[in-house]
Amino acid sequence: MRNLLLAVALLALPVHAGEPAPVPSPGEIAAAAPASDWIAIAPSDMLVMDLAPDAKGKPRRVVIQLMPPPFSQGWIGNIRKLAAAHWWDGTAVTRVQDNYVAQWGDPTEKKPLPERLVTVPESDYVQRVPAAEEGQLGRLGLVDSYAETADIRDGWPLAQSGDYWWPVHCYGAVGVGRNMSPDTGSGAELYAVIGHAPRHLDRNIAVVGRVISGIEHLSSLPRGTGDLGVYARAEEQVPILSIRLATDLPAAEQPKFEYLSTNSDSFARYADARKNRRDPFFIAPAGGADICNIPVPIRPVAAK
């Protein structure tokens, strides 16, 4: 830590004439992006989960951005109905598996679901690539072990093989728990990735969103003592006070976030910097990056 602080102090020293200017880090590139490069996330696309306060009485809020069309819309329609019905109130985080997922839902598995939830077919794990998007993925030049190509489109990491593309499981991704095939889950049981990206789940479970704030309230929870990290005793479970669409909260309480447009020049520079770290701390640029190692910058919007 002392050496790191020394390195930071050295970076703060003035650059003398003839010396090359320090190369900006990915975070510095994102921070310098003009306001026009940032896109607001609609409140109707944010899910707000309030867990019971922690042991010190501090509130724990998790904000989830829902996946945009055309991906996972059947499940997301169900999630909107579940939130509108306040179905998750009084449920709990029931499973926390180290380096994998935190999962929540009804611990009793007996709570009646709202009416008119749809059953989504397994075919909806992927979508056919629209003609207008053919050949558009791959611009980041990533090598992907799970697909022919991977890229970030409209703010979301996607993978593609042949005529089909799909959202991928990166850190913070939110998916739908299910039983054995052909069950695809209703959306009542959800999980968030809190460890190494489990890309083997791609095309096998629906990705419906990502945590954009408060991931620490899930990733820091005690690991479950049962099989697959399930909390073996009811007292281990973490109560959920409520889950609401942001639009159902009072205006003053609605979270406000924006993401760096992935079509912008700022994002292109940011992505290149993530692939090739040239800022002063790094010695050898990696020369590449995994799709999940280029997280889209997301920031809160200050109240006016």
pLDDT of residue 11: 45
pLDDT at 2 over 50: no
pLDDT of residue 22: 79
pLDDT-wise least confident of 3-17, 70-84, 207-221, 278-292:
3-17
3-state DSSP assignment of residue 265: helix
The average pLDDT across 104-120 equals 97
The average pLDDT across 25-53 equals 97
pLDDT category at 7 given cuts 50, 70, 90 is very low
pLDDT of residue 17: 52
pLDDT of residue 31: 97
Task: Report CA-CA distances (Å) from 72 to 17, 66, 221, 258.
Answer: 55, 9, 28, 22
Instruction: Please give the model's pTM, rounded to 2 decimal places.
Output: 0.92
| Average pLDDT, rounded, for the chain | 93
Name residue 50's beta-bridge partners.
61, 242
The average pLDDT across 46-52 equals 98
- Spatial CA neighbour of 185 closest among 176, 194, 193: 176
Is-cis flag, bond preceding 24, omega within 30?
Answer: no
Using CA atoms, how far apart are residues 277 and 281, in angstroms rounded to an integer?
9
**Percent of the chain's residues with pLDDT above 70:** 93
pLDDT category at 134 given cuts 50, 70, 90 is confident
Task: Report CA-CA distances (Å) from 241 to 50, 83, 163.
Answer: 6, 12, 42
The average pLDDT across 126-131 equals 93
The average pLDDT across 70-87 equals 98
pLDDT-wise least confident of 13-17, 131-135, 222-226:
13-17
The residue behind tokens 């999630």 is: 79
The average pLDDT across 230-255 equals 97
Task: Give φ, ψ of 84 to 5 degrees.
Answer: -65, -30
